[in-house]
A = this chain, B = another copy of it.
């Protein structure tokens, strides 16, 4: 099927189709606006992607093939799948993996709930793997759940930061130039292969610096830091009271705002506006500071943890929750309150299974205004560290500011 004429009334795809997605998805869509500006007409165009993932990563210097190396405990290829998957106009994603990694790949798809993925067995070379993927898409089998695509995007499994606008460029170019080999900027034989064996369209276009490939161990380090940075952009402060007695929570919120650059702080009374908090969770905020003022235990933090567990927020990224408590160390020795707060260790073990990193923070609350500011500032530094590092070795610790 050829794309219809301009102005025809087909569905509005390809073209950006995000809704209610932000936060971590920015990894793959930082240039969405520009993509929207170059929308290639409003036509229905069947697009699929093929990911050759049969490599063994010999340059990485680690025994695991690089596409399966963990970043924040999740395999690299899952990040790449996530980036493609969120582009709703890519109908099918075919991943070519070796026979020995087939089961690993299946379990990754299941654990991270990837959709629209089909697996084929990789060939002995990258080109043969691409061929296998294209063949699966081209075959017109009755039992096949794959729809025959008009454009196929061939994408490395180890380029997790692909943006929608680059993918859109690929599709636009394929549509404009058909299967010619015009403007083959990073041309490899993959394209020739696609042209030769399949009657589908294929073309390579120039990417952005973000479209880099994880090749060496240092690239894994860089990818981890970038992902950590992306999911640390926003922090939600949850308070256990609406108006009364919330003074100190708001003071902390103010200090957090000044301590953490480019971090959006959202204050939210859990008991009064659960719906609002639900929206924040849906919007993919991965960091929560739960201020417990009204009670001396973890009542509010536990409510928040339940909400987070019910949502599937932590499937893709570890969620940080800091349970904050206040105490005037002059009036009550911290040890007394600490005894009570020690149970955070048990909570943290339980929620770690759901990929939630729980820490406790006891902030000194002296009468002196200046000293209070100082302990709030210390608290903000600790919160910033926990959000930034996402250190699973320190969960369940009760930190003191």
Q: B394 contacts A382, CB within 8 Å?
A: yes
Q: List CB contacts (< 8 Å) of A274-310 with chain B.
A: none
Check A197 for interface membership: any CB of B closer than 8 A: no
Check A38 for interface membership: any CB of B closer than 8 A: no
Check A212 for interface membership: any CB of B closer than 8 A: yes
Q: Closest chain B residue to A61 by CB distance? A: B209
Q: List CB contacts (< 8 Å) of A324-375 with chain B.
A: 333-336, 338-339, 342, 345
User: Of A219, A221, A342, which is in contact with the most chain B CB atoms at under 10 Å from its CB?
Assistant: A221
Partner of A222, one of B209, B219, B381, B384: B219
Chain B residues, Cβ within 8 Å of A209: 59, 216
Interface size class of A (residues with CB under 8 A): 20 to 34
Q: A381 contacts B400, CB within 8 Å?
A: no
Bound-complex Cα distance A381 to B352 (A): 15
Q: A394 contacts B393, CB within 8 Å?
A: no
Q: B399 contacts A394, CB within 8 Å?
A: yes
Report copies per complex.
Answer: 2
Bound-complex Cα distance A224 to B333 (A): 40
Q: A221 contacts B216, CB within 8 Å?
A: no
Chain B residues, Cβ within 8 Å of A345: 400
Check A389 for interface membership: any CB of B closer than 8 A: yes
Q: Closest chain B residue to A161 by CB distance? A: B218
Bound-complex Cα distance A223 to B386 (A): 21
Q: A226 contacts B221, CB within 8 Å?
A: yes
Check A125 for interface membership: any CB of B closer than 8 A: no
Check A391 for interface membership: any CB of B closer than 8 A: yes
Chain B residues, Cβ within 8 Å of A382: 393-394, 397
Bound-complex Cα distance A398 to B397 (A): 9
Contact with B along A219-241 (1 / 0, CB 8 A): 10111111000000000000000
Partner of A391, one of B225, B333, B391, B400: B391
Bound-complex Cα distance A369 to B302 (A): 33
Q: Closest chain B residue to A223 by CB distance? A: B218
Would you give 23 A-B contacts (Cβ < 8 Å), ordered by A?
A59-B209, A209-B216, A218-B223, A218-B225, A221-B222, A221-B226, A222-B225, A225-B225, A333-B335, A333-B339, A334-B339, A335-B336, A338-B338, A342-B400, A345-B400, A381-B393, A384-B393, A385-B394, A389-B391, A394-B394, A394-B399, A397-B397, A397-B399
The interface of chain A, by Cβ under 8 A from chain B, is 59, 209, 212, 216, 218-219, 221-226, 333-336, 338-339, 342, 345, 381-382, 384-386, 389, 391-394, 397-400
- Taking A218-B223, A218-B226, A335-B339 as known contacts, 20 extra A-B pairs with beta carbons closer than 8 A to each other, sorted by chain A number, are A212-B218, A218-B222, A219-B222, A221-B221, A221-B224, A221-B226, A222-B225, A224-B225, A225-B225, A333-B339, A342-B400, A345-B400, A381-B393, A382-B394, A382-B397, A385-B392, A389-B389, A391-B391, A397-B397, A398-B400
